[in-house]
Structure 1
Amino acid sequence: MEGGGGSPMLLVLAAQLYAVYSQSPLPLVVNTWPFHSATQAAWKVLSSGGSPLDAVEKGCAQCEVEQCDGTVGYGGSPDESGETTLDAMIMNGNTMKVGAVANLRRIKNAIGVARAVMEHTKHTFLVGESASLFAESMGFVCEDLTTNRSLSIYSKWLDQQCQPNFRTNVTPNPEKSCGPYKPLKPLPESKTTSIQKKVDLRSHDTIGMIAVDRSGFVATGTSTNGASHKIPGRVGDSPMIGAGSYADSSVGGAAATGDGDTMMRFLPSYQAVENMRMGADPTTACQKAIARIQKHVPVFFGAIICANRTGSYGAACSKAPGFTQFRYSVYKPGRSQPLEEMVDCL
């Protein structure tokens, strides 16, 4: 070997190792929507040797800080009372442990609280005011989640006679009034239909993220401020294990976004992972999970991302008025920045 400014043999070896690394499909970060700053934050952790759990937490937290599309983090999607509340979950695909929070109040870092539930309690899921008190006891700062923007959204909604809202079978007519409401007798089931008359695109919510390290360790997570003008106390699909996301390092991971009140009934993330377990590639696994929902709800707004433990990934979405393509973000070896990918909806 030559001395001085570095061995040519070592330089060749380094170049060969880089070539192998850049061609490897792992590590991998995939997340819903083109939230590239979140993807980049997660990749920075993962590519420097951090765990997929750290990557997912960091990536989702980045969206919480940036208020991605106004649908993640503080200051967005006020409920019927004008308050912003948060839902989040994180799942360890090695241990199958999960931490989740829902209807979290006054705490900005929802994904951080979800991880604290997983790592500092024997529980899986905390909700509402009690979840906020737990967060404070863990050192999270209590802050107002309301902003001028969320107040403006709320005021405009009140001026429009609380339209749109999520009330049904009540009086006065929820399509013309803010209430207060009283229940009406529901229509007989034979007179109802499983096809929605209106497709709700207000639920363009959630960052759902999958991270896989070089060894195939899979973690997933979600964070959202839920549906705009939701009934106070409503919990969507995002923090629900198997609905918002699911991880199993022996197979892979999945995460969902869209109309949570529809999607959570079918546990699409769990279903997609099970589809991969049975041999489906990630794209097919996502498509099958979407198709299963469409058998019961032919038209709905939703999408799923999937990745297996070897680094293959894919996505699928359900076609709805105003939603025919789904864009998501990927970071993988050989890239200097996140890649935006797109899939046509089924």
Structure 2
Amino acid sequence: MNMGAVGALRRVKNAISVARHVLDYTQHSLLVGDQATEFAVAMGFKEEPLETNASTKIWQQWKQNNCQPNFWMNVSPDPASTCGPYKPATKSLTSKQYQQRGVKFGGEGNHDTIGMVAIDNRGKIAAGTSTNGASHKIPGRVGDSPIPGAGAYADGEVGAAAATGDGDVMMRFLPRILYFFQAAQRIYTMRTPRDGVKRWGKDLFYSGTSTRVGEHCSRRFQLIEVGCPARSSCLRSRPASSLDVVVFSGASDSMEDLIAVEQLRSGITPSAAGENALRRIVALYPDFVGGIVVLSIDGQYGAACHGMNTFKYSVCNQQLGEVTVLEVPCLSSDK
């Protein structure tokens, strides 16, 4: 798996092309800020002002409107009626206020992300995104687009996904799309539970060893946990009727939470993978607005969305013969 990305790139057009140069000509994954601009110029890209008459006018109108909307919170003076400068407020936020972060101005028109996933005739898969970011964002903000596994993700054995919408929320959840999709394909093709231990230990945890492997089998499911500390119980009792699951925990000290893929069905589709990921987001952020496109390694594709009536995406393959715009209805918060 290879990647390259840039964030907070200034005064250079076509950020996705600069990201490709990070991929092709460096051993790094992500460059940001003024140094990303310096890198782009060194690679032959033109440094130039990107402001237009239209964007300048929009900015002036925003200033005249007391900098509304904006993304500040828990500061003084009140960001809902002033432009600042701001200082931290002394009061603490409620849990509900924390939950509302990043969704207040995450509507359909407040971003311009372009995402693409593709497979070539050799079966090589790739994903990419490019964006100017949220309108009226705080200077220095980096959204989900350049973050690997957030704005886009690709796995050469499974598939790829790209997203658009509220990146500040999306970046906390999008990698789960591939967890769903990857687990569905691997769990139902592996020969034995131990095959799954070896394969997932290599692919996800970069570790081929474990201190103990606990294994429990019933007629309905198999539960495996990898790398369990000797002082803890590896097996957890779950009703066999409630899930088909492979669970991994404690594989390394850096893994704070166990990775669980629950209630998977054999042959999960890209659309279902996207819907499952969005439902996890909406459970915590019911006002979330965004869409996801998912592509499997065998060429299946699908999309899911929330916070809009419908979501459009374009597809081009040999069967369609030309670029075709498709449209899917979006999930509602009560689904």
Contact 1:107 1:142 survives alignment (8 Å)? yes
| Matched position secondary structure for 1:229 | coil
- Whose relative contact order is higher, 1 or 2, with alpha carbons under 8 Å and at least 6 apart? 1
Contact 2:111 2:135 survives alignment (8 Å)? no
What's the offset of the Cα at 1:190? 4.8
1:150 maps to which of 55, 79, 85: 55
Distance 2:165 2:114 in 1: 10
1:107 and 2:12 matched: yes
What's the offset of the Cα at 1:215? 2.7
CA distances 1:45-81 after superposition (whole Å, capped 9, x unpaired) = xxxxxxxxxxxxxxxxxxxxxxxxxxxxxxxxxxxxx
Distance 1:188 1:165 in 2: 18
Q: Partner residue of 1:316?
A: 304
Q: Partner residue of 1:200?
A: 106
Alignment of 1:87-106 (within 5 A): 96-106=1-11
Distance 1:182 1:124 in 2: 34
Q: Partner residue of 1:329?
A: 314
Q: Partner residue of 1:82?
A: none
What's the offset of the Cα at 1:258? 0.2
Q: 1:188 to 1:177 in 2, by over 3 A?
A: closer
1:339 and 2:315 matched: no
Q: Partner residue of 1:294?
A: 282
What's the offset of the Cα at 1:188? 4.4
Distance 2:90 2:291 in 1: 34
Alignment of 1:193-232 (within 5 A): 194=99, 198=104, 200-201=106-107, 202-232=109-139
Distance 1:326 1:308 in 2: 19
Q: Which runs of 5+ in 2 are unaligned?
A: 185-267
Contact 1:302 1:317 survives alignment (8 Å)? yes
| Matched position secondary structure for 2:8 | strand
What's the offset of the Cα at 1:297? 1.2
1:169 maps to which of 63, 69, 74: 74
What's the offset of the Cα at 1:191? 6.2
Q: 1:100 to 1:186 in 2, by over 3 A?
A: farther
Contact 1:255 1:305 survives alignment (8 Å)? yes
Contact 1:251 1:276 survives alignment (8 Å)? yes
Contact 1:199 1:299 survives alignment (8 Å)? no
- Counting matched residue pairs gives 246
Which stretch shifts more, 185-194 or 126-135? 185-194
What's the offset of the Cα at 1:186? 4.1
Q: Partner residue of 1:254?
A: 161
CA distances 1:196-215 after superposition (whole Å, capped 9, x unpaired) = 78452143321010011123
Q: 1:204 to 1:344 in 2, by over 3 A?
A: farther
2:151 maps to which of 244, 263, 267: 244
Contact 2:106 2:165 survives alignment (8 Å)? no
Judging by fraction of residues, say which structure has more helix: 1
CA distances 1:280-331 after superposition (whole Å, capped 9, x unpaired) = 210111111111111221220111100101110001111x2xx221111111
| Matched position secondary structure for 1:265 | coil
Contact 1:222 1:238 survives alignment (8 Å)? yes
What's the offset of the Cα at 1:195? 5.0
CA distances 1:246-286 after superposition (whole Å, capped 9, x unpaired) = 001210100011001111112x1x32122221222101111
Contact 1:199 1:300 survives alignment (8 Å)? no
Distance 1:241 1:203 in 2: 22
| Matched position secondary structure for 1:104 | coil
| Matched position secondary structure for 1:306 | strand
Contact 2:69 2:105 survives alignment (8 Å)? no
Root-mean-square deviation (CA), in Å? Answer: 1.6
Q: Partner residue of 1:278?
A: 183
Q: 1:186 to 1:316 in 2, by over 3 A?
A: farther
CA distances 1:78-137 after superposition (whole Å, capped 9, x unpaired) = xxxxxxxxxxxxxxxxxx111000000111021111011111111100000000001111
Distance 1:224 1:180 in 2: 27
Q: Name the TM-score, length of structure 1 as normaliser.
A: 0.68
What's the offset of the Cα at 1:165? 0.5
Q: Name the TM-score, length of structure 2 as normaliser.
A: 0.70
